[in-house]
Structure 1
Amino acid sequence: MSRLRDVPLSVLDLATIGSGSNATAALRDTTELARHVEGLGYHRFWLAEHHGMPGIASSAPAVLIGHVAAATARLRVGSGGVMLPNHAPLVVAEQFGTLAALHPDRIDLGIGRAPGTDQKTARALRRSTGTLSAEDFPQQLTELMGYFDGTEAVTAVPSPGTRPPVWLLGSSGYSAQVAGLLGLPFAFAHHFSAENTLPALALYRQNFRPSAVLSEPYAMVCAAVIAADTTEHARWIAGPSGLAFLRLRGGNPGLFPSPEEAAEHPYSDVERMFIEDRASSMIIGDPATVDAELAELLDDTRADELMVSTMVHSNADRMRSYELVAELAGRSVSV
């Protein structure tokens, strides 16, 4: 029996804009995907926050969360996450208080401490000329929670009494420790920081203090997964992911490339090494391969929940990948 049957399955989506497409089509695909995975029995559908990246349409997660929640019926919809240094806590409280009022018991507020963008963009988001630092995170988080609890001098309507579940997101040990000390659920970004996964989860569990939210630790791990009916096809549709990250590292992000573009790119030896290194933390293959590697990840991390992120050029391939993972987990399919 697959290890995947033991944990809830969730989705992280970035509303990827593929070459030859546009933001309207990408957002329509994300909405279609959300409906699809709801029918597959997935538990959550989170949207990431990215800025200044032509190949990613999820720059305004609160807006997109509202749209996706309205287009679905049971799925929990949330942020994976809101990068708190980029925003005034009051605005975040108002946005997510409104979302929670519109969609009771279906909204998650995932919070990250890194700006996740360059300083120029971060200053434009905050409309501040002051130095922005992730080290201000504890104070910002305390202020944000205060708006929901009604303990701040300013009232963030309609936030009091509508606080959605708050998660801390991380790719290192800092947020893991904060999440543990505050007794909050923790989501780790294994998909881009695999080397830090086990140390961060250990810190979270070691530092955990029971709270009104949780009596014991609850950890979710997000993995990059590309499943297909054959390993050959999985590797083919995974090719663009490497090229996209190569361009991003070179300061030249663009639309998400097609498999043909990725196959035709004249890679240098150094570029191939970079792509191979990144692919080593991804789970790519046919159902048997994906099942075995996800089982190993779950056993190693002792994760309470698995979040899957699948970045491919074709929405049909993306939906098929989530179908295969759901089938491995024994979820009932009603799409």
Structure 2
Amino acid sequence: MNDTAGPILSVLDTVPVWYGVQAADSLHQLLELAPAVERLGYRRYWLAEHHNMPAFGTSTPPVLIGQLAAVTSTLRVGSGGVMLPNHTPLVVAEQFATLDVFHPDRIDLGVGRAPGGEPATARALRRTGDPAHAGSFGEQLVELVDYLTPSGEGERPAVAVSPPPQRPVPVWLLGTSESSASLAARLGLPYAFAHHLNPAGTAASVARYRAEFQPSERLAQPYVAVSSQVVAADTDEEAQWHAGPIRVAHVEGRINPLTLFRTPEQAARYSLTSAQQDYLEGHFAAQVVGGPETVRRRLAEFRAEVGFDELLAATPVFGLQARIRSFELLAEAAQPARDSSGLSPVSSASSS
């Protein structure tokens, strides 16, 4: 980690779907949002795979990646992530090798091991439904990395990706635990930790990844991105208002996974139990929510606590302009800590 340069800023998106808003409208909004964050100097835009969850419009990250890469020019676009147990490594490799043909050196493949849905959906995605099936994840990941690494001249593997990769397509491992940190470290891959899901495990997992990291042909030094809920507004009060739907979604989604995101007005009327309020206070104290000075302070504290290289801002804020404003304020808050190019120190030929 470069302490003087500060974190690179990127986006993690689930394409939130709101009550009263069509999923198609949320998807179309991406075509305005991605160019906006590109203009603000963000490094990458990632989309997270979910299935049978109406509040999230990201069932097909490869399709969305192609759409966003086509309306941007410098932004890296990728998955955060593709849930590998849902797919065969060969199919994923061919999807991302194809994307790289049309958008060379701009495509990232972040990979996770969760199903991205409940058990019935996992079975519909042609998984076994047996939790033990996840035990083959490490082998699947190695197979995927091999597919996305160009063969030597004159060599052709028994099973070849079509189109053949012209360069190593960057592969990241996503996780929420120390076991994923160890796997990323052992394989010499960049690591992205879902702090917005498991803030209690972030610091230990990042520390373990750095301690156990083994250099590889793809990555010489450890590199860590951490996702956080980020809601920035012109005042602390306004930020808390915009964060209301996310807070409600954290508790309501556990009760009814088929619910949609509520608007800020609807969230303000939602009745929370004292236990739910206590849980939310603890969870969101670890995220980045507030006005400009609060965000600046919290960003610095967060990085000092965890030691990450890059921040993936998860910002499911209602309304396109409010969402863009949140990304603007985050960029301003991080400005003194960013290098002059606004780009990641990790080379595009390895993990960026």
Shift of 1:5: 5.7
Matched, 1:286 2:291: yes
Percent sequence identity is: 48
CA–CA separation in structure 2 for the residues paired with 1:132 and 1:23: 34
Is the contact made by 1:16 and 1:256 (CA closer than 8 Å) also made in structure 2? yes
Q: How much has 1:128 moved relative to structure 2?
A: 5.0
Alpha-carbon displacement from aligned partner over 1:46-99 (angstroms, at most 9, x marks no partner)? 011111111110110000000000011110000000111111111101110111
The residue number in structure 1 matching 2:10 is: 10
The 5-angstrom pairing of residues 1-335 of structure 1 reads 6-126=6-126, 133-149=133-149, 150=151, 153-330=158-335
Whole-Å Cα distance in 2 between the matches of residues 116 and 137 of structure 1? 15
Higher deviation after alignment, 115-124 or 83-92: 115-124
- CA separation of 1:274 and 1:300: change in aligned 2, threshold 3 A: closer
Amino acid at match of 1:284: V
Give the letter aligned to residue 80 of structure 1.
G
Question: Matched residue of 1:226: which SS?
Answer: strand
Q: Secondary structure at the match of 1:217?
A: coil
Q: Give the root-mean-square deviation of aligned CA atoms.
A: 1.9
Give a deviation string over 1:89-113, Cα, whole Å, max 9, x none.
1110111011111100000000112
C-alpha contact 2:196 2:227 (8 A) present in aligned 1: yes
Distance in 1 between the 2:244 and 2:317 partners? Answer: 9
- Structure 1 stretch 176-185 or stretch 122-131: which is displaced more? 122-131
- The CA deviation at 1:152 is 5.1
Consecutive unaligned residues in structure 1, runs of 5 or more: none
How many residue pairs get aligned? The number is 330
Distance 2:192 2:230 in 1: 16
Q: Return the letter of the residue paired with 1:65.
A: I
SS in 1 for 2:20: coil
Seen in structure 2, the aligned counterparts of structure 1 residues 127 and 133 have a Cα distance that, compared at 3 Å, is closer
In structure 1, the residue matched to 2:349 is none
- Return closer, same or farther for 1:23/1:152 CA change in 2, 3 Å cut-off: farther
Q: Partner letter of residue 37 of structure 2?
A: V
Task: Report Cα offsets for 1:130-156 as digits up to 9, x if no partner.
Answer: 666322111111221232235753222
Q: Which amino acid aligns with 1:166?
A: V
SS at 2:260's partner residue? coil
CA distance in 1, matches of 2:206, 2:118: 28
Give how far 1:225 is off: 0.9
What's the TM-score once normalised by structure 2's chain length?
0.89
The AA in structure 2 aligned to 1:42 is Y
Separation (CA, whole Å) in 2 of partners of 1:293 and 1:101: 39
Contact 2:199-2:283 within 8 A present in 1 as well: no
Alpha-carbon shift at residue 253 of structure 1 (Å): 3.3
Retained in 2: the 8 A contact 1:100–1:163? Answer: no
Higher alpha-carbon deviation: 309-318 or 60-69: 309-318
Secondary structure at the aligned position of 1:188 is classed as: strand
Single out whichever of 66-75 and 130-139 deviates more from structure 2: 130-139
Deviation at 1:281, TM superposition (A): 2.2
**How far apart are residue 319 of structure 1 and its match?**
0.7
> Using a 3 Å threshold, how does the CA distance of structure 1 residues 91 and 28 change in structure 2: closer, same or farther?
same
SS at match of 1:167: strand
- More displaced, 232-241 or 159-168? 159-168
